[in-house]
């Protein structure tokens, strides 16, 4: 069983990237140094090949209704050409995946899902689409996906004639054409910085990759992507979000719109009282890692780290941790156990770092 | 993967280098190791005066993404640890052979014979890359 390759695989090899399997794909982890890649995105502009992500299209008069029904967030009332982030839940409220749906036009929606969940999501969506007046197609193998992120991204994108619209606000999406190549561009990302994601043909992705590198854009791998999202506290499916918990257990209450029309999981979530609460914790010396136990001041284990790393931007250890709600300490005093040593944490009410997204 | 190997040093299968002077063994990690780990951001070393066992972890090196045990090339008492590396872990990325980790007082001289020479270590790296 060979690993799948993205259309940019040869470019990664040429750049001497450190490669590793991720969700059936051989993906670039880092090119030079993950730390430098993080700083490039915070201060300049970086480019990520995230072609492993899944792309489905819902098309037809019922496409908006369908997408609204399978997500917990409000899709129907979002404006034209808007993107909406949302969990996709089962009837019992547990999370199948988190994703972004893009309103391309009034009869067409792009549904972008996590690479590791493509098959699970596809089966789930397929089983619900029958009631709606629309078709559902899986175009995951037909699309490459580039993320161009960082405060200087807009300048480069305009120079390369990839954004032409005057007004292209955060979380909006457009279908565009350049040199007879059609692509979908959205002002979204997973880094907290300003930037875009470009869904396009494999050929065009290869062309663009070279153009961006010629402009001095830094190629960035999955390691820096994971650090960047953690610094701004974006959840990761498999870590903060799993098959076993609901969005209400993991800081995603803002994405569950109980007032909108019926949606999968609504009845359960309306009555549910969460079992967990997500905590944002940092430590000055020491690096929290997934699975490390979190304790209160009385030495009682109250939860686990779900994501943790050294933050190159803040120069300290940062962690997201799922804490049993009933044991969530009122005094906000948390301890992380690292190799049987106790580290006192700083509790953060907000994200560790505020990115500069528009 | 391009990496540097010093001819005058001894090596372990765990990608550590060792230098033996009289009764003292000084060790660190190889260029191959630092390059595989990527950005090194945290180093934890044993306390001076304690005794370590060959094959038993005596410390930790953390890169941004991974936690890695340090296995001493031989057993013995810890004579000294490199505080500079604890304070500036990135030194290991800059020059792995210039950044020693630990000095051990040799207690079992036979264990030195089990170390690899530079040629044997080169072969070992080829198999691992």
Chain A's closest residue to B64, CA to CA, is A310
In this complex, which of A18, A223, A287 lies closest to B41 when CB atoms are compared?
A: A287
Phi-psi region of A265 (alpha: psi -120 to 50; beta: other; left: phi over 0): left
Inside any domain, residue A335:
yes
Cα–Cα distance, B119 to B122 (Å, whole number):
5
Within a domain: A317: yes
Q: Are residues A94 and A211 in the same domain?
A: no
For residues A243-268, give the mean pLDDT: 96
Q: Can you give the residue ranges of every domain in chain B?
A: 10-124
By the 8 A CB rule, do A157 and A196 touch?
yes
Which pLDDT does position B1 carry in this prediction? 66
In chain B, the percentage of residues whose pLDDT exceeds 70 is 98
**Whole-angstrom distance, CA of residue A106 vs CA of residue A60:** 8
Distance CA A271, CA A243 (A): 19
Mention every residue, 6+ apart, whose C-beta is less than 8 A from residue A257.
A72, A73, A74
pLDDT of residue A1: 62
Mean pLDDT over residues A292-304, rounded?
97
Min CA distance, B113 vs chain A (Å)? 32
C-alpha–C-alpha distance, residues A75 and B18, integer Å = 62
B32: phi then psi, degrees, rounded to nearest 5:
-60, -45
Q: What is the pLDDT of residues A46-103, one digit of tens each?
A: 999 999 999 999 999 999 999 999 999 999 999 999 999 999 999 999 999 999 999 9
In this predicted model, what pLDDT tens digit does every residue of B48-94 receive, in sequence order?
Answer: 999 999 989 999 999 998 999 999 999 999 999 999 999 999 999 99
Tally the domains of chain A: 3
Cα separation, A197 vs A138, whole angstroms: 19
Distance of alpha carbon A278 from alpha carbon A281, whole angstroms: 10
How is residue A248 annotated by DSSP? G
**Per-residue pLDDT averaged across A295-304, rounded?**
97
Q: Which residues 6+ apart lie within 8 Å of A137 measured at CB?
A: A56, A57, A59
pLDDT 10s digits, B95-120 = 999 999 999 998 888 889 999 999 99
Domain that holds residue A84: 52-138+244-272
**Of A231, A259, A293, the domain-final residue:** A231
Radius of gyration (Cα) for chain B, nearest Å?
14
- Binned at pLDDT 50, 70 and 90, residue A165 comes out as confident
Residue A341 within a domain: yes
Tokens describing residue A219? 């190629």
- HEC profile for B29-69? ECHHHHHHHCCEEEEECCCCCCEECCCCCCEEEEECCCEEE
Same-domain pairing of A148 and A264: no
Quick check: A271 pLDDT over 80? Answer: yes
Task: List the CATH number of the domain containing A148.
Answer: 3.30.1360.120
Nearest to A70 by CA among A92, A53, A86: A86
Beta-carbon contacts of A175 under 8 Å, excluding residues fewer than 6 positions away, are A104, A105, A182, A183, A184
pLDDT the model gives residue A164: 83
Residues A265 and A134 in one domain: yes
Q: Are B76 and B108 in contact (CB under 8 A)?
A: yes
Q: Say whether B42 and A287 touch across the interface (CB within 8 A).
A: yes
How many percent of chain A have pLDDT more than 90? 96
Contact A223 B62 (CB under 8 A): no
* Residue A302 pLDDT exceeds 80: yes
- pLDDT tens for A119-148 read 999 999 999 999 999 999 999 999 999 999
> Is residue A183 over pLDDT 90?
yes
Task: Examine the pLDDT at A18 and tell me if it is beyond 80.
Answer: yes
Average pLDDT on A251-273 reads: 96
Q: What is the ipTM of this complex?
A: 0.84
Tell me B107's DSSP state.
S
Q: For residue A94, what pLDDT is reported?
A: 98
Q: Does B86 touch chain A (CB under 8 A)?
A: no
What confidence score (pLDDT) does residue A258 get? 97
Measured between CB atoms, which of A227, A286, A339 is closest to B64? A227
Whether residues A78 and A185 share a domain: the answer is no
- Mean pLDDT in chain A? 96
Per the CB < 8 A criterion, the answer to whether A352 and A311 are in contact is yes
User: pLDDT averaged over chain B?
Assistant: 94
Same domain, yes or no, for A323 and A187? Answer: no
Please say which residue of A201, A231, A261 terminates a domain: A231
Interface of B with A in 23-62 (CB under 8 A): 38-39, 41-42, 44, 60, 62
Give chain B positions within 8 Å (CB) of A33.
38-39, 93
Residue A4 resides in a domain: no
Asked if residue A198 belongs to a domain, the reply is: yes
Residue B128: pLDDT band with limits 50, 70, 90: confident
Confidence class for position A261, pLDDT limits 50, 70, 90: confident
The CATH number that domain B10-124 falls under is: 2.40.50.100
The CATH number for A77's domain is 3.30.70.1400
Residues in chain A within 8 Å Cβ distance of B67: 287, 289
Taking CB atoms and an 8 Å limit, are A223 and B64 in contact across chains?
Answer: yes
Position B28 confidence tier, pLDDT thresholds 50, 70, 90: very high
CA B64 to each of CA A215, A286, A308, A315, A318: distance values in angstroms, whole numbers, following the listed order? 28, 11, 10, 11, 11
């Amino acid at each position: 069983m060979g690993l799948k390759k993205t259309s940019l695989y040869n470019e990664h090899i040429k750049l001497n990237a450190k490669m590793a399997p991720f969700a059936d794909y051989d993906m670039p982890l880092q090119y030079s140094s993950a730390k430098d890649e993080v700083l490039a995105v915070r201060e300049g502009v970086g480019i990520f090949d995230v072609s492993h992500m899944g792309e489905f299209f819902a098309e037809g008069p019922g496409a908006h209704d369908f997408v609204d029904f399978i997500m917990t967030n409000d899709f129907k009332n979002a404006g034209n050409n808007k993107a909406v982030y949302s969990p996709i839940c089962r009837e019992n409220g547990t999370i199948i995946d988190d994703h972004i749906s893009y309103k391309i036009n009034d009869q067409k929606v792009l549904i972008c899902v996590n690479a590791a969940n493509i098959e699970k999501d596809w089966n789930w969506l397929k089983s619900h689409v029958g009631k709606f007046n629309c078709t559902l197609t899986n175009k995951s193998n037909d699309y490459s996906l580039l993320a161009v992120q960082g405060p200087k991204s807009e300048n480069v994108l305009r120079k390369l004639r990839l954004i032409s619209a005057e007004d292209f606000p955060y979380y909006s999406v457009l279908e565009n054409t350049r040199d007879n190549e059609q692509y979908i561009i959205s002002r979204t990302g997973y880094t907290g910085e300003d930037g875009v994601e470009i869904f396009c043909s494999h050929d065009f992705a290869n062309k663009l990759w070279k153009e961006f590198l010629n402009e001095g854009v830094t190629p960035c791998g999955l390691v820096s992507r994971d650090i960047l999202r953690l610094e701004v506290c974006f959840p990761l499916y498999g870590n903060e979000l799993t098959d076993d918990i609901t969005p209400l257990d993991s800081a995603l209450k803002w994405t569950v719109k109980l007032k909108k029309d019926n949606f999968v999981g609504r009845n359960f979530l309306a009555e549910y009282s969460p079992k967990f609460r997500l905590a944002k914790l940092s430590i000055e010396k020491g690096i929290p890692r997934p699975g490390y136990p979190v304790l209160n001041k009385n030495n009682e284990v109250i939860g686990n780290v779900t994501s943790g790393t050294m933050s190159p931007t803040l120069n300290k250890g940062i962690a997201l941790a799922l804490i049993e709600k009933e044991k969530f300490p009122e005094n906000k005093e948390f301890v992380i156990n690292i190799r049987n040593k106790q580290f006192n944490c700083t509790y953060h009410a907000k994200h560790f770092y505020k990115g500069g997204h528009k | 993967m391009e990496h540097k190997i010093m001819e005058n040093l001894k090596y372990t299968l765990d990608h550590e280098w060792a230098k033996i002077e009289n009764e003292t063994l000084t060790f660190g990690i190889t260029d191959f190791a630092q390059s595989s780990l990527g950005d090194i951001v945290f180093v934890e070393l044993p306390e001076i005066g304690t005794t370590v066992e060959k094959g038993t972890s005596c410390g930790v090196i953390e890169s941004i993404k991974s936690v890695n045990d340090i296995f001493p090339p031989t057993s013995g008492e810890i004579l000294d640890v490199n505080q500079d590396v604890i304070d500036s872990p990135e030194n290991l990325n800059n020059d792995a052979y210039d950044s020693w980790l630990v000095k051990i007082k040799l207690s079992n001289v036979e264990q030195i014979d089990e170390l690899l020479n530079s040629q044997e270590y080169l072969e070992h790296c080829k198999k691992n890359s």
